[in-house]
Structure 1
Amino acid sequence: MSQTKNMAPSEGLTANEISNIWSSYLKNSMELKFFEYFVASTANNEIKQVIEKMLNQSQKNLNELKEIFSKENLTIPLGLTDEDVRADTHKIFSDTFILYFCFDLTMLSLSTYPIALSDCTRKDIRDHHQVNIEFTVTIQNEIVNLMLSQGVYLRPPQVAIDSKVEFADTMIYLNGFFGGSRPVNTAEIANLSRVIHRAQFSKMVFVAFSKLAKTKELKKHFSKGRDEIEKVLDSLQEVLEKENIPISASGDYKISDVEMSPFSDKLMLFFVNTCLGIFCFAMISQAMTSSLRTDIVLKLDEISDDMKKYYGKSILLAIKEKWLEQPPQAVDRKV
């Protein structure tokens, strides 16, 4: 009994752990390609230093994950490669937009690594996710401080708060359609402003990608994404405008015309499906669960349905182009 306790057995990976490191590899391979281009095209030294730290962390993660895959006799994913980016092409995005882009990638990390950590058992896998959580918190603090110092941070709305403790005493509290409906609460303001800021960023990504895509099909698909995001903005901004709650927006979403795209169509579609897709659903779901006014819930539900249809087509496009890597599968025990 005591011998068993003192042993340090080499435990095989669970399905959850394999799924999480596989997803982490694809995510880091995508981020590395963007960081390579951002480092080459960013003029601001403070922003460049932040990007270099993120690039080095992504490269370190890929090397570490390759070792784990090899030790476990698992196939290393292809992910995104040198063929998916040309770092020597002309500058497309303003330095400020690149900073927003990096901030968005930290938000993706903070929505995935904590879940992965809670889902894993083996120490080396948990350590991988924990290190990335700690790194992401640190680098996001640097990005926020840099945004504040440069005057480009998009602040959430500030509102006057009623200091009295009150409890909802009628069903009118849930009502958002008929007379007598209550003002939006702080949880609803926070989540709506978060989705709106994300939609503003996503819209400009779609605008850029629709210009950069090589095939007519992807140009059309990214343009459709821009139109869907416009609907999101119109729908949710209407709620805050009726309440006279201002929402900040960036004036530095500048995109330059270039003859040659630095990004492959595969890289752009992967980013759309991962960062603007999966992350988008997580944000909308959070907003729905914390909103109690019926009109807001129904707006978010409609947005979620529209997004499902759009990203369903995105996945089909990836399959059609043979860009969708299948996650590791269990042995078929039915044959």
Structure 2
Amino acid sequence: MEKKNPISASELGTLWLTYQEKTMILRILEYFIEKSDDQEAKNLMGGLWQELHFYVNEIKTLFENDGIVIPMGFRKEDVNLEAPKLYDNGFDIMFLRILKELSMGLYTINMNMAYRKDVMAIYQGLTNVTQRIYKLSTVYLLNKGILTLPPNVTLPKTVEFVKNTNYMKGFKPLGDKRSLNTIELGILHHGIETNNIGLQLITGFAQCAENKKVRKYFIKGLELAKKHIQTYEEILLEANVHFSATSGSIVTTSTFPPFSEKLMMYCICLLNGFGLVGSSFGAMFSLRTDITMKLSLLSKDILLYGHEGIELLIKNGWFEEPPQMEDRPKIIKK
């Protein structure tokens, strides 16, 4: 048998994070499957549950073989299958699609930090699962009329080059700004789409949170999502682009929590990181200075909100500590 290298620190870190994320998604899927009244959606989520469960066990086995403690992650006590339906009309698949979008980016980073064949095999398998489920989710939502397509534009017929640096200027006191390019339009559409889903998710969490500080944190996140949507829509309206990437899904009036507050808080913190990357990506690839500035300011808001969430997790004893490097100065002093 081929001798394996000891697991590296980077591999341990990414596998630990993957275990946290996947056990959270399994609990969310269990609730959504239980409450779904659409057989196609149930089949889609049920198939994903089986595949993610397989890879969670693969990570467990790898940890056990290397003598690594199994993380706690999220367990059966973090979901209440008896809780009433909190979301309706396709929200389960809308949220599933967002989670798969997030996972695609994470697996790319994780694969870049993997050196052992068995670790790379886990991320390769998870990538294949994620891309397939993302495609199936998108087709499902389009067929149901829940997902809104980005707007169309007049298709280019010739190759053009930017003539001068005025192309980048967005703060003109006089005169019109240049029209949005399709890259900027795509970034803004995606920002509205993802924040709409986040708005609905955190509205449901705020309704059923029992801890006052946690509820206050969710309400703050709700207002932040509204601010993001408003910023994106204002840019589009200025450019005479009239559309709204809204979802047909709804939040019910239930106030009974389907998930533990630990799981809900971790979920929002995970999505904060995704939102921070998205805003930074948009700021980097937008070539109009006013859009870059607005997206950068939104990134700052997400960063501060994310730090507040981590502090709340720690204060409530919900933040599982990642594996640590040895504290050499402390060891030497002893």
Same structural fold, with TM-score higher than 0.5 when normalized by the shorter chain? yes
2:274 aligned with 1:290: no
Superposed displacement of residue 130, structure 1: 0.2
Aligned residues: 328
Question: How high is the TM-score relative to the length of structure 1?
Answer: 0.95
Q: Secondary structure at the match of 1:8?
A: coil
The answer to whether the aligner puts 1:268 opposite 2:261 as a matched pair is no
Q: Distance in 2 between matches of 1:251 and 1:104?
A: 13
Instruction: Tell me the equivalent position of 1:145.
Output: 139
Partner of residue 57, structure 2: 63
Same amino acid, percent of matched pairs: 30
1:206 to 202, 218, 236: 202
2:119 alignment counterpart: 125
1:102, distance to aligned residue in structure 2 (A): 0.9
| 1:46-61 alignment runs, 5 A limit | 46-61=40-55
Q: Return the letter of the residue paired with 1:331.
A: E
Q: Secondary structure at the match of 1:246?
A: coil
Counterpart residue type for residue 33 of structure 2: V
Q: Is the 8 A contact 2:16 2:71 kept in 1?
A: yes
CA distance in 2, matches of 1:155, 1:226: 24
1:1-335 → structure 2 map (5 Å cutoff)? 8-178=2-172, 179-274=175-270, 276-334=271-329, 335=332
Q: Determine helix, strand or coil for the equivalent of 1:285.
A: helix
Partners of 2:262 and 2:195 in 1: CA distance: 22
Alpha-carbon distance in 1 for matches of 2:190, 2:255: 34
d(CA) in 1 for partners of 2:156, 2:258: 51
AA aligned opposite 1:326: E
Cα contact 1:38–1:98 (8 A) shared by 2: yes
User: CA deviation digits over 1:17-64, x for unaligned, max 9?
Assistant: 111110110001100100000110000000000010111122112111
What CA RMSD, in Å, does the superposition of the two structures yield over aligned residues?
Answer: 1.3
Give the drift of 1:10.
2.0
Aligned-residue offset at 1:93:
0.9
Native 8 Å contact 1:43 1:95 kept in 2: no
Alignment-mate amino acid for residue 198 of structure 1: T
1:244 aligns to what SS in structure 2? coil
**CA shift at 1:105, angstroms?**
1.1
Give the aligned residue type for 1:270. Answer: Y
Assess if the C-alpha contact under 8 Å between 1:154 and 1:249 holds in 2.
yes
Q: TM-score, normalization: structure 2?
A: 0.95
CA distance in 1, matches of 2:314, 2:75: 18
State the shift of 1:214 in Å.
0.9
Any idea what the Cα deviations from partners look like across 1:109-144, whole Å, max 9, x if unmatched? Answer: 111012111221100000000000001111112111
CA distance, structure 2, for counterparts of residue 95 and residue 78 of structure 1: 32
Using the alignment, how far apart are the partners of 1:192 and 1:214 within structure 2? 34
Give the C-alpha shift of residue 259 in structure 1. 4.6
The letter of the residue matching 1:146 is: Y
State the distance in 1 between where 2:247 and 2:25 align. 25
- Deviation of 1:91 after TM superposition, in Å, equals 1.2
- Name the aligned partner's letter for residue 235 of structure 1: T
Alpha-carbon distance in structure 2 between the residues aligned to 1:251 and 1:330: 44
Q: Take 2:276 and 2:246, find their aligned partners in 1: how far apart are those partners?
A: 23
Measured in 1, the distance between the counterparts of 2:146 and 2:244 equals 10
Q: Which residue in the other structure is 1:4 paired with?
A: none
* Distance in 2 (alpha carbons) for counterparts of 1:116 and 1:326: 19
* Structure 1 gaps, min length 5: 1-6
| CA drift at 1:180 | 4.3
1:251 deviation in Å?
A: 4.8
What SS is found at the alignment partner of 1:282? helix
The alpha-carbon deviation at position 310 of structure 1 amounts to: 0.8
Q: 1:300 Cα shift?
A: 0.3
1:3 match: none
Kept in 1, the 8 Å contact 2:146–2:249? The answer is: no
Summarize deviations over 1:188-230 as a string: whole Å, max 9, x none: 1111111111111111111111101111111111000011111
SS at match of 1:249: coil
Q: Which amino acid aligns with 1:316?
A: E
Q: What is the DSSP-based 3-state SS (H/G/I as helix, E as strand, rest coil) of the residue aligned with 1:12?
A: coil
